Amino acid sequence: MATIKEIAKLAETSISSVSRVLNSSGYVSEPVRKRIQKVLDETGYRPNALAKALHSKRSQTIGVILPKINATSSGDNIAGIDQYFANNGYSIILGNTNHSIKSELEFLDLFAEKQVDGIILIATTITSEHKEKIRKVGKPVVVMGQSTTDGTPCVLFDEVTAVEEIIDYLVASQHRNIALIGVSESDVSVGVKRKQGYLNSLEKHGLPISADMMVNGEFSVESGYTACQELYEERMQRPDAIFAANDKMAIGAITYLLEHGFKVPEDVSVCGVGGGNMSRYYNPKITSLVYDFEESGKTSAHLLHMLIEKPDLDLNDHVSFIPYHLEVRDSTAPKLS
């Protein structure tokens, strides 16, 4: 490969001019810039990444902390983040936490040590320890999926309003005994806000709120199955509709119902959140709140990139809400009288 000195000789210019073009810094006249670029293209010259990073004081890498690397939502998030940053000359490093708060905190330290230019935290929760780590990390941080109270910019779905909408739909379909399969309230967005949307809708329609109709899972198909089993075998009331806080738990609930002689949706309507391929191609196709996780990834990447490029930019307390929509499929239907 040619050296920078040889590039300058071939382009009939100075080494400093070639350096300015390579690092997008300083003035170079347009004719000279074109000559340099032509030689770079012809020789296939690529600057040493480490040398460029030392010169610009940037690593051109982004740390992404995610809760579950094999989750559909995580894959879509990463696709959006990677597409945006690849188009802007960055690479991403992934930190998979398996829903461990301890691992989230450790990755914040690790990525700071690795000199990444910024961090996207797809958080399971935001604790006082998270806030302290983010304050000390010394890098721009954007949080996805959870609200922040320390000024860190975040990207969210309007969980409460979205769930109100899907429960309103079930009520309009004449369902009156609507159960919730939620998750632990340590996850504020899913465990607290989605539950609040459920409760808001029941209250709005004057329907009874019963602890017997609320159980928790752990995001997985297996936990959805077990939660549905608890509803039908250990609780006093039997639901005519089930809202699960994600599509995997909805699939688990449907599996239990079908195995135990119930018809979906004729006997019980079941719906979830996510709207990805798993729910779209399951039989029956699952009615779901469709969240555009890839778009949330792109939006988070764009916010972080702005903070990297403009360190004085004030995005304190900024919140971006990502659109969603309700997609009615085959797992729900009006209740038969």
Domain boundary assignment for the chain: 4-47, 59-157+293-322, 159-291
CA angle at 287 for the pair 286 and 291, rounded to the nearest 5°: 100
Could you tell me how many residues make up the chain? Answer: 337
CATH topology of domain 4-47: 434 Repressor (Amino-terminal Domain) (1.10.260)
> At 156, which helix (H) or strand (E)?
strand 154-156
Q: Do domains 59-157+293-322 and 159-291 have the same CATH topology?
A: yes
pLDDT recorded at residue 153: 97
Q: Which residues contact 133 (CB under 8 A, 6 or more apart)?
A: 105, 108, 109
Owner of token pair 């300083």 = 26
Q: Select from 227, 249, 251 the least CA-distant residue to 239.
A: 227
Count of CB atoms situated within 10 Å of the CB of 209: 11
What does CATH list as the number for 159-291? Answer: 3.40.50.2300
pLDDT recorded at residue 51: 54
Q: Which residues contact 224 (CB under 8 A, 6 or more apart)?
A: 181, 217, 244, 248, 249, 250, 251, 252, 253, 255, 256
- How does pLDDT run along the chain (337 residues), one tens digit per residue? 678 888 888 889 988 888 888 776 678 899 998 998 898 888 887 766 545 555 556 788 999 999 988 888 889 999 999 999 999 888 999 999 998 999 999 999 999 888 899 999 999 899 999 999 999 998 999 999 999 999 999 999 999 999 999 999 999 999 999 999 999 999 999 999 999 999 999 999 999 999 999 999 999 999 999 999 999 999 989 999 999 999 999 999 999 999 999 999 999 999 999 988 889 999 999 999 999 999 999 999 999 999 999 988 999 999 999 999 999 999 999 998 6
| Radius of gyration over every alpha carbon of the chain, rounded to an integer in angstroms | 25
Question: Residue 257: left if φ>0, alpha if ψ -120 to 50, beta else—which one?
Answer: alpha
How large is the angle between the packed helices 15-23 and 49-56, nearest 10 degrees? 90
pLDDT recorded at residue 292: 94
What does CATH list as the number for 59-157+293-322? Answer: 3.40.50.2300
Q: Is 95 helix (H, G, I), strand (E, B) or coil?
A: strand
Question: Residue 293: left if φ>0, alpha if ψ -120 to 50, beta else—which one?
Answer: alpha
Q: Which pTM was predicted?
A: 0.81
Q: Is 307 helix (H, G, I), strand (E, B) or coil?
A: helix
Q: Select from 216, 268, 203, 222 the least CA-distant residue to 244.
A: 216
pLDDT recorded at residue 52: 55
Instruction: Report residue 116: phi and psi, to 5°.
Output: -65, 160
CB 56 within 8 A of CB 15: no
CA distance linking residue 254 with residue 136, whole number of Å: 46
CB 2 within 8 A of CB 41: no
Amino acid at 62: I
CA angle at 95 for the pair 133 and 136, rounded to the nearest 5°: 15
CA distance linking residue 201 with residue 213, whole number of Å: 14
Count of CB atoms situated within 10 Å of the CB of 43: 13
CB 291 within 8 A of CB 275: yes
